[in-house]
A = this chain, B = another copy of it.
Amino acid sequence: MDKPITVLLYEDNRDLREGISFLLQATPGIVLAAACPHVNNLKADLAAYTPDVVLTDIGMPGMTGLEALPIIKATNPNIQVLMLTVFDDDERIFQAIRGGASGYLLKNTPPAEIIQAVFDVFRGGSPMTSSVARKVLQHFQQPAKVSSSEQLLSAREQDILKGLMKGYSYKLIADELHISIDTVRTHIRNVYEKLQVNSKTEAILKAMKDGFLG
């Protein structure tokens, strides 16, 4: 470690706060700037301690960690924020991620891993409890298509749909595929019926949501 990592901790539960504080203080390479039970003096705290890493609970009296997150990132985007919480619902997880959190640990994480996570975020990693990571990954995977029909759209219909998804007009699509605009109409009509929609926009949204198949 060249320079110690300055950490700022927010956790309303006294025992947990003191426990984590103790650990952080006992760790070489980490300097605990402060440990607060609430995030209401956030801006002042950030200015006073200029932390490298903020470790924060989500559920706290007053402002929540989730609300604090954008403020922290607005103050200094280089601050790495690590959420440490009991909540593992999609809503909160994604709000945290969108808000720029760099890590998301559940409170059942062993202390040693919490410490490790602080080093990880500081080095540019994003430590995550594996159950949280699973939820994140699922948002990338194809929506399963559990009860979906194979090959709902014919090859040509997919070509047309791709055109729509590029924002092309009927005419442009016709040109690109070297077919007449009326043929494009016909195909689109069929696509709409198969996808159970009735406008370009709906078709595009549907196509994006569940990747080409109804």
Interface residues of A, Cβ cutoff 8 Å to B: 94, 97-98, 100-103, 117, 120-121, 123-131, 133-134, 136-137, 139-142, 164-167, 169, 197, 199-202, 204-205, 208
Contact = CB atoms under 8 A, between A and B. Distances in A.
A103 B130 contact: yes
A140 B90 CA distance: 13
Most buried by B among A121, A136, A199: A136
B134 A136 contact: no
A60 B97 CA distance: 34
Contact of A141 (B100, B103, B121): B100
Nearest to A99: B141
A167 B201 contact: yes
B140 A94 contact: yes
Nearest to A116: B130
Given A137-B97, A141-B97, A167-B202, A120 B130 contact: yes
A145 B204 CA distance: 25
19 contacts: A100-B141, A101-B137, A117-B130, A126-B133, A126-B136, A127-B133, A128-B130, A128-B133, A136-B137, A139-B140, A164-B201, A165-B205, A166-B205, A167-B199, A167-B202, A169-B199, A200-B200, A200-B201, A204-B204
A135 B139 CA distance: 14
Q: 3 tightest A-B contacts by CB?
A: A125-B130, A126-B134, A126-B133
Given A120-B130, A130-B127, A167-B201, A140 B97 contact: yes
A134 B125 contact: yes
Contacts of A123: 131
Most buried by B among A130, A167, A169: A130
Nearest to A211: B98
